[in-house]
Structure 1
C-alpha cells in the first residue's frame, strides 16, 4: 500500500495510490487523479475495505474484451470448431459488451441486452454460453467475484423435429446411390448401418474392422480438417456390431478402391474426404431426387435411421445406447424419444392383437 505523487509532462502532479492485491502472481491496483494527499489516502482506505469484503478491484480496470481475449488465448488448445464458435460469438455478436468494465456488467444489463437483441434464440444461447465461460475464467483467476451471465433468462430455443429415413426409404436411397454415385455407396451404407458420427465415419481405418466376427472399433475422429486420436467422451470409444450385408459391401469397396490407403473412405487423390463436399455433391443430390428438397434432412440424422433399424429389430435400449456411443441412458431416451414412442405405439397394437383372441 502506498500513496505518492504522479508527475505529468508539464511538471504538475496528482496524487495516486497503489495496492498490491496478490504477491504470487503479482497483481496491483492503481488509481490516480486525486488533487490532495488526503483525498488519495481516503480513497485508498475505501478500496482496502472493498477488497477485504470480497470486492474485486481489478474488475474496475479490465474490460470484457480484454478478459475475453485472455480466455480465447487459453482456448487455443481446443478444437478449431470450438475456437471458431467462440470467436464468432465474441466478435460478431457481443460487441455491446466489449468496452464495458467488468464491474459495470450486471445481470440486469445482460437481461436487457437479451430482451433488445435482434438475434435468433440459438445465437443468443451460444453468446451467453461463451460469456459465462469468460466470466468463470475471470473468477478462477481472482479478477472478478460474480458471473452476471450465470442466472439470466434466455429465450427458449425451439428444436426442429429431426427427420429420418424409414427403413424402406433408406434401402431406396442406397439403391439410388449405387446407381448414381457408386463412389459414395459404401460410405452411405456404413453410415446407415452403424449410426456413427460424421467425424468418426471419415476416420475409420481398415484395421478397425474385424470382418470375421462382424465388429467395428470406433477410436478416432476427423473434424475441422484434423485427424484426432481422441473422441468426445469415454463412451464414444466403442465396438459396433456390423451386419453381414455391410461386411460384403465393404469388402467389395476395398477391392475397387483405386488407391492403397489405411483409411476406408478417401477421395480421388488419396486424402480424407471434406465432409461439406461429400454432403453437397453426393448426399444432397440424393435428397433432391427422392424428396424434391436438398435440405430435407441432415446427414447426421441418419443416426436416427440406424436407431430405427435397431428398435424395429426389438433390441433393448441399453444395447442401442452402447452402439451409438451415448454416455448415459437418458441421452439416448431424449435424443430418440420420438422413435421410441413410435415403437411403443406399435407394441400396443401388437399386444392388442395378442389379447384379442382371449
Structure 2
C-alpha cells in the first residue's frame, strides 16, 4: 500500500513538492507495520516512478532500509536464495551454524556489527571449546550471509572480512594421544564381526553390514537402495541416490542425489553378497505377507517390518550392540566399514583410480589421502609380521 501527497516547500517555485509513503513489511521485533517515505519530487509522475522503482527492489528481496535492517532479516533473505541451489541435507546442516550466529547478532542492526565484534564471537567459540572445524563452518556461513548483504547494498564491507580463526593449542600429550579419524577392521576382526552379525544379529544386521563391508558404499547410499538397483544377472549394484533422514523418524525421509556427481556409479558384487541378498529378498517377501496391508511396499532393500527404510541411527545402534559382544576394542562406526573395504582393496593390489571409482570420490585427492594413510598402516603391520617371523632366526645369530 502507498499514498502520495503534496508537501509544502519554501525552496520551490510551486511552493510544494511531491512525496509518498509505502508499506515495507512487518517489524520482526514489534510486530507492527513498517513504512518508508520518500519526498522532494517535482511532480507526481516523478514520485510515482520512484515508488515503482522502490517497489521493484522490494520484490527482489530488499524489504528494509539499510539503517533499519536487522541481521536476522538478512539471514532470512539469504536463505530464500540459498535453499534454491542446495540439497535439503545441506540446508539442514546449516541450521545449527545459523543458530549460533543468531544468538550473537540476531536482533542487532546490520550496520552495528563491526569487525572487532565479529572476531570476539569467534574467540568466544574457541574459549568455549568448540572444535576448529565447527568454528570454521560457522565462519563460512557468516561469510555467505554478509556477502548477500553486500549484494543487496545494505553494507559496503563484511564484518567477517579479515577475521582470524583461533588456533588450536595442542600440548605434547594431545599430539601423543591423538587418534586418527581413519579407522578400519582387520580381516580377522571383520570376520568376527560378520559372524556375530549372522549368529547374534537382529533382522537386517548381517545383510546390511556384509553389503557395506564388501562394497564400500556409504551408509546413506545403502539405505536408499531399492531392488531395482540390483542386477543379479550382471552382478552389479547401481548407486544413484542417498537417504536423508534428518530426524531419524521412520517415515520422515527423502531420497536425494548422492554426495557428489562422482558418487553416481555402478559397482560389481561378488557371489557371496549376491547369495546373501537373494536369501534376504525371499525373507523380506515373507515379512510382507505377514504384515499384509500394513506393509508400505516401496521396494527398499533394507526396509523395516513396515516397509520403510531403516534409519542411520538404528544402523549405529545395531553396530554398537554387536561390538559389545565381540573382542574388538576399537571405536568403530558404520562408516569405518567403508575404510575397511578400502584397506582390503589396497591389500588386494587395487590402484588409486580403481578405488576412487568404487568409493565414488569426485576428487581423487580424497582417495589419495585415505590411500596414503591405509598404505602406511599396512606397511607397518607387514614390517611387524616380518620382525616376528625373523625373531627366532635373529636370536640364533
TM-score normalised by L of structure 2: 0.69
- The corresponding residue for 1:110 is 118
Distance 2:164 2:51 in 1: 34
Equivalent position SS for 2:243: strand
- Is it true that 1:87 corresponds to 2:114 in the alignment? no
Distance in structure 1 (CA, Å) of the matches to 2:224 and 2:75: 33
- Say if 1:58 and 1:22 are closer, same or farther in 2 by CA, change over 3 A: farther
Which residues in structure 2 correspond to 1:105-184 (within 5 Å)?
A: 105-117=113-125, 118-121=128-131, 122-156=133-167, 161-162=180-181, 163-183=183-203, 184=205
Report the Cα offset of residue 292 of structure 1.
Answer: 7.2
Deviation at 1:235, TM superposition (A): 0.5
Contact 1:165–1:305 (CA under 8 A) maintained in structure 2: yes
Could you say which residue in structure 2 is the equivalent of 1:208? 229
CA RMSD, Structure 1 to Structure 2 (Å)? 3.5
Asked if the contact 1:311/1:340 (under 8 Å) is kept, the reply is yes
Q: Note the C-alpha offset of 1:334.
A: 2.4
Distance of aligned partners of 1:334 and 1:161 in 2 relative to their CA distance in 1, 3 Å threshold: same
1:228 aligns with 2:255: yes
The alignment partner of 1:100 has SS state of coil
Q: Does the 8 A contact of 1:287 with 1:296 survive in 2?
A: no
Is residue 300–residue 307 contact of structure 2 (8 Å, CA) maintained in 1?
no
Q: What residue in structure 2 maps to residue 185 of structure 1?
A: 206
Query: Where does residue 63 of structure 1 map in the other structure?
Result: 70
Q: CA deviation at 1:80?
A: 4.6
Q: Quick one: structure 1 residues 275 and 100, their matched pair in 2 at CA, closer, same or farther if it must change by over 3 Å? A: same
Matched-pair contact (CA < 8 Å) for 1:177–1:286: yes
Aligned length: 313
User: In 2, are the aligned partners of 1:190 and 1:246 still within 8 Å (CA)?
Assistant: yes
Could you tell which deviates more after superposition, 305-314 or 106-115? 106-115
Query: Do the aligned partners of residues 343 and 18 (structure 1) sit closer, same or farther apart at CA in structure 2, a change above 3 Å counting?
Result: farther
Match of 2:334 in 1: 299
TM alignment of 1:1-358, pairs within 5 A: 23=53, 26-27=56-57, 58-76=65-83, 78-92=86-100, 94-117=102-125, 118-121=128-131, 122-156=133-167, 161-162=180-181, 163-183=183-203, 184-224=205-245, 225-257=252-284, 258-260=286-288, 261=297, 262-280=299-317, 282-290=318-326, 296-343=331-378
Q: Deviations over 1:259-295 (max 9, x none)?
A: 4552211111111112212322x111112222577x9
Alpha-carbon offset, residue 17 of structure 1: 6.6
Structure 2 distance, partners of 1:187, 1:215, is 16
d(CA) in 2 for partners of 1:329 and 1:23?
50
Between the aligned partners of 2:156 and 2:258, the Cα distance in structure 1 is: 34
Deviations 1:81-111 (A, max 9, x none): 4334323223345412122222332333222
Structure 2, unmatched stretches of 5+, are: 1-5, 10-18, 20-36, 41-49, 59-63, 171-177, 246-251, 289-296, 390-397
Pair 1:27–1:213, CA change in 2 (3 A): closer
Describe the superposition over 1:161-202 as per-residue Cα deviations: whole angstroms up to 9, x where unpaired. Answer: 222211221111000010111521111101111111111100
Deviation at 1:59, TM superposition (A): 4.0
For the structure 1 residues 345 and 190, does the alpha-carbon distance in structure 2 shift closer, same or farther, using more than 3 Å as the test? same
